[in-house]
Amino acid sequence: MEIASEKCQFRAGEYIFREGDRGDVAYILEEGVVEIIANIDNSPTVLNTLTPGDIFGELALIDDSPRSASALAKTDVLLTVISKAQVKARIEQAHPILQLLLTVIMKHFRSETAKIRGNKSSDFPSKFYQEKLHNSIELIRLESELYQGFKNNELLLFYQPIIELKTQIIAGFEVLLRWLSSKRGYVSPEIFAPLAEASPLIISIGEWVLEESIKALLLLKEHSKRDIFFSINVAEKQIKSVKFIEIIKEKIVGKFNREIPIKLEILERSLFEGSEAISFIEFCRKYSIPLVLDDFGTGYANLSYLKKFQFDTVKIDKCFIENLETNNKDQIICKSLIELSHGLGMTTVAEGIENQKQLEVLKNLGCDYGQGYFFSPPLPQDQVIKLLQQ
């Protein structure tokens, strides 16, 4: 959740913070003048004079170091406060390369500050620096390996059954991406998926997923002699890409003339992309491509999206399912989501079903479909064929 910035005032001659203080906030100077003063050779020295629009005190928020200088209000000043939580959230959301660059810049700045003050070594906390540097380099290395792994056909598709709850018959499958690295072995999707989705590689991966999924779907239909569908996740970067829309048009619309058995899953937060998201959804509606709204209820749960955009299915997140059999609040939430979806002409899918009691509750609430380890884990294609034949 976004944290609102606060305002604060200091009188002329007051210290905003002193050298050696713990740094827990940074400041944007809105009105007045601030002097940054350091104790060099036992003498207070003005390092910088700040005017409205300048920011100061930010480095201490990043590396938890004591203040390396003092900030004195030269005149009456008005400041906007930036909290540690705000800074931390933005660093964590940044791309690994930007995180690495920030860490290196911090190291350089601390080193230069130490030189000015006559210290031979930087007061930058080496443990913090080494940890951030190691983590950032590791993510960059992993992203590079993912590029190479994609070229070397190390990515795999697994399929998790989606069950019609009334009949408990397999209605379709969610397509899930897996990576068996030649260097690392199995890499968790929780680790590599965010890297892929944040990079341009996701467009090429998305095209490959569509091609392979359609091949697998046609093969499974041939073996099972049944109508089944595939549900495929779409990332924000794909929604923004005109190229990906053309890929969908070629791969899906060009392949199926009648009812399209490929559903595209979109995260609720992807709808924040404004006109790009609207264009993508309008395109899918024009060519009758089924759309699934994923993770609704876990983010902003903005009902205007359900009013503005026409979805075919709402997916109920597993966080509402894991304690469903014992938690009355979860039952109320699921009941509301199911009734709302049905009232707007949409079906519902519950994910993360792990036991019979959860299944029974969802059936009684009228949920249409479900998936989870109670039915089956994600499976490779050959095992899916055997499952359907059974």
| DSSP per-residue string spanning 75-91 | S-EEEEEEEHHHHHHHH
Going by pLDDT thresholds of 50, 70 and 90, the confidence category of residue 17 is: very high
How much is the average pLDDT of 332-354? 95
Euclidean distance between CA atoms 134 and 131, whole angstroms: 5
Q: Pseudo-torsion of CA 269, 273, 278, 283, nearest 10°?
A: -90
Which of 92-106, 152-166, 179-193, 207-221 shows the lowest mean pLDDT across its residues?
92-106
| 206: nearest Cα among 276, 261, 144, 265 | 265
pLDDT given at position 306: 79
| DSSP per-residue string spanning 311-355 | -SEEEEPGGGTTTTTT-HHHHHHHHHHHHHHHHTT-EEEEE---S
pLDDT single digits (tens) 217-258:
999 988 888 889 999 999 989 998 889 999 999 999 888 877
Which of 11-25, 103-117, 251-265, 363-377 shows the lowest mean pLDDT across its residues?
103-117
What phi and psi, each to the nearest 5 degrees, are found at residue 111?
Answer: -65, -45
pLDDT given at position 61: 72
pLDDT given at position 63: 67
pLDDT given at position 269: 77
| 368: nearest Cα among 350, 388, 353, 381 | 350
CATH topology of domain 6-92: Jelly Rolls (2.60.120)
| DSSP per-residue string spanning 149-177 | HHHTT-EEEEEEEEEETTTTEEEEEEEEE
pLDDT given at position 303: 77
pLDDT single digits (tens) 27-59:
999 999 999 998 887 888 898 999 998 989 877
Going by pLDDT thresholds of 50, 70 and 90, the confidence category of residue 3 is: very low
Range among 38-52, 123-137, 169-183 rated most confident = 169-183
pLDDT given at position 347: 96
Domain spans of the chain, in order of start: 6-92, 94-139, 153-389
How much is the average pLDDT of 86-93? 70
Euclidean distance between CA atoms 275 and 237, whole angstroms: 14
How much is the average pLDDT of 96-100? 71
123 pLDDT more than 90: no
Q: In sequence order, what are the beta bridge partners of 233?
A: 265
Q: In sequence order, what are the beta bridge partners of 27?
A: 56, 81
Contact yes or no for 30/81 (Cβ under 8 A): no
Euclidean distance between CA atoms 150 and 208, whole angstroms: 10
Question: Residues with Cβ < 8 Å from 84, sequence gap 6 or more?
Answer: 24, 25, 61
If one compares 317 and 309, the residue with the highest pLDDT of the two is 317
- What are 239's two structure tokens? 């929604």
Euclidean distance between CA atoms 104 and 62, whole angstroms: 12
Sheet holding 34-40, edge to edge: 15-17, 70-73, 34-40, 43-50
How much is the average pLDDT of 116-136? 61
- Over the chain, what is the mean pLDDT? 86
Determine if residue 248 is left, alpha or beta; phi over 0 gives left, psi from -120 to 50 gives alpha, anything else beta: alpha
How much is the average pLDDT of 53-78? 85
SS3 content of the chain, % helix, strand, coil (to 5): 45, 25, 30
Q: Going along the chain, which residue ranges are E strands?
A: 6-10, 15-17, 25-31, 34-40, 43-50, 55-56, 70-73, 77-83, 155-164, 169-181, 185-187, 229-234, 262-267, 291-296, 313-316, 347-351, 369-371
pLDDT given at position 18: 92
pLDDT single digits (tens) 320-337:
999 999 999 999 999 999
Please state whether the predicted TM-score (pTM) of the whole model is above 0.85.
no
Neighbours of 220 (CB within 10 A): 21
CATH superfamily of 153-389: EAL domain (3.20.20.450)
Which of 41-50, 84-93, 190-199, 306-315 shows the lowest mean pLDDT across its residues?
84-93
How much is the average pLDDT of 158-167? 96
pLDDT given at position 68: 82
1 pLDDT more than 50: no
